[in-house]
Amino acid sequence: MAGNLEGGFRERVAAAVRRVPAGRVTTYGDVAGIIGNPGAARQVGWALSALPADTDVPWHRVINRQGTLSLRGDLLRGDAQRRRLEAEGQVFDEAGRLDLGAVRWRWDDAPS
């Protein structure tokens, strides 16, 4: 039973993240809230980190609530995430932050 719940959670995370358009970002907490699991930001991160390399889920568009990348020691994935975001027009400041006020995806405007 727990395996089914986990699979459902991962599928909901993937479906939500697929809705984030290029040139925008969202946070782990935003994704957790939109799928009905507020407080599960860390689990959203785990679900995204478990995606296969050839995934069509734009995982790189999910960042932390401070507007920075959450590397957790995976510098290669962090470099790939930053490159993908920059290719979509994101501009990081000297501290490695994005201006969430300007680039955060507004879920209430998103088509379902």
What single letter denotes the amino acid at residue 67?
Answer: G
Residue 107: per-residue pLDDT: 81
CATH code, domain with 89:
1.10.10.10
Number of domain units in the chain: 1
Task: Count CB neighbours of 20 within 10 A.
Answer: 22
pLDDT reading at 2 higher than 80: no
Residue 1: per-residue pLDDT: 32
> Tens of pLDDT along 33-53?
999 999 999 999 999 999 998
pLDDT reading at 78 higher than 90: no
From 64, 29, 54, 24, select the one nearest 44 (Cα to Cα): 29
> Tens of pLDDT along 58-75?
999 999 999 999 877 667
Burial of 52 (0-12, 13-18, 19+ CB in 10 A): exposed
Q: Given the structure tokens 């470099």, which residue do they identify?
A: 79
**Domain housing 69:** 2-109
**Mean pLDDT, residues 77-81 taken together:** 88
pLDDT higher at 111 or 103: 103
Residue 73: per-residue pLDDT: 65
> Binning pLDDT at 50, 70 and 90, where does residue 5 land?
very low
- Rounded to two decimals, what is the model's pTM? 0.88
Show the tokens assigned to 63: 């960042």
CA 45 to chain centre: 7
